[in-house]
């Protein structure tokens, strides 16, 4: 399987799964309830996506690159952008039950944005250095699972997207100190999961996309 077909299939599968999740949420959902639903969806659905990715990866041909990526268009960063655009699609896109025309109609065509990032991903070179390698990431000595990394990226970005509603729908002056502390703690944990996933995507591409 060619690399672009492999990446497109995975991106479509991620988007489709999380569209199902978004459709299951009531319109005007409570943030805490939606986050609990996301955790349950993660537990029920993640293993199937990870297994499918592992199976597809066995027959995927990545090819090679002349030189590594020196900037911010490496595979891990682009997959992160793509999963954020998936959030935009499932929560604000024309087919989303959560779309608020007054607030979301000016956000542009997310389908085009997804297509553009996918095109960049198909051509992305492996990172010369793991761009988000920091103390907050959880290192592992064995090669990471691409399916797990992509799933973790989507889960963490969906959770952060939902929790950001607190910034836009609630008067911060009316929020309790405990809720604000919980909010900060949540983003610390979610962002660590996201950064680790980006690093693991980079490592998988470094292993499969050889630089000559």
**Collapsed DSSP state (helix, strand, coil) of residue 172:** helix
Residue range 10-39: mean pLDDT, rounded: 94
**Collapsed DSSP state (helix, strand, coil) of residue 62:** coil
Q: Is the pLDDT of residue 212 over 50?
A: no
Dihedral over alpha carbons 48, 5, 22, 102 (to 10 degrees): 170
Q: Which residues contact 64 (CB under 8 A, 6 or more apart)?
A: 209, 210, 211, 212
Determine the straight-line distance between the first and last CA of the chain, rounded to whole angstroms.
22
Alpha helices (runs of H) in the chain, residue ranges in sequence order: 3-24, 31-58, 75-92, 101-104, 110-123, 146-163, 165-169, 177-208
Residue range 172-191: mean pLDDT, rounded: 76
Q: Cα(190)–Cα(199) distance, rounded to whole angstroms?
A: 14
Domain count, the chain: 1
Residue range 109-127: mean pLDDT, rounded: 91
- What is the enclosing helix (H) or strand (E) of 211? strand 210-211
Q: Which residue has the higher pLDDT, 119 or 65?
A: 119
Q: Is the pLDDT of residue 166 over 80?
A: no
Domain that holds residue 115: 3-211
Task: Supply the mean pLDDT for the chain.
Answer: 85
Give the tokens for residue 131: 């761009």
**Collapsed DSSP state (helix, strand, coil) of residue 210:** strand
Q: Is the pLDDT of residue 33 over 80?
A: yes
Position 122 scores a pLDDT of 94
């Amino acid at each position: 399987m060619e690399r672009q077909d492999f990446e497109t299939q995975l991106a479509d599968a991620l988007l489709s799964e999380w569209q199902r999740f978004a459709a299951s949420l009531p319109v005007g959902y409570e943030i805490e309830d939606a986050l609990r639903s996301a955790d349950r969806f993660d537990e029920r659905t993640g293993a199937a996506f990870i297994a499918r990715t592992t199976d597809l990866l066995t027959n995927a041909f990545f090819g090679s690159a002349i030189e590594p990526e020196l900037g911010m268009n490496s595979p891990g960063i682009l997959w992160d952008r793509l999963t954020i655009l998936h959030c935009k699609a499932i929560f604000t896109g024309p087919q989303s039950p959560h779309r608020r025309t007054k607030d979301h109609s000016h956000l542009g065509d997310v389908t085009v944005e997804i297509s553009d990032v996918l095109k960049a991903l198909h051509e992305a070179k492996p990172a010369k250095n793991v761009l988000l390698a920091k103390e907050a990431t959880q290192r592992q000595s064995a090669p990471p699972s691409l399916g797990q990394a992509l799933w973790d990226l989507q889960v963490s970005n969906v959770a952060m997207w939902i929790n950001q509603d607190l910034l836009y729908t609630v008067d911060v002056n009316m929020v309790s100190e405990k809720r604000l502390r919980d909010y900060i703690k949540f983003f610390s944990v979610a962002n660590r999961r996201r950064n680790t996933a980006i690093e693991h995507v980079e490592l998988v591409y470094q292993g499969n996309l050889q630089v000559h």
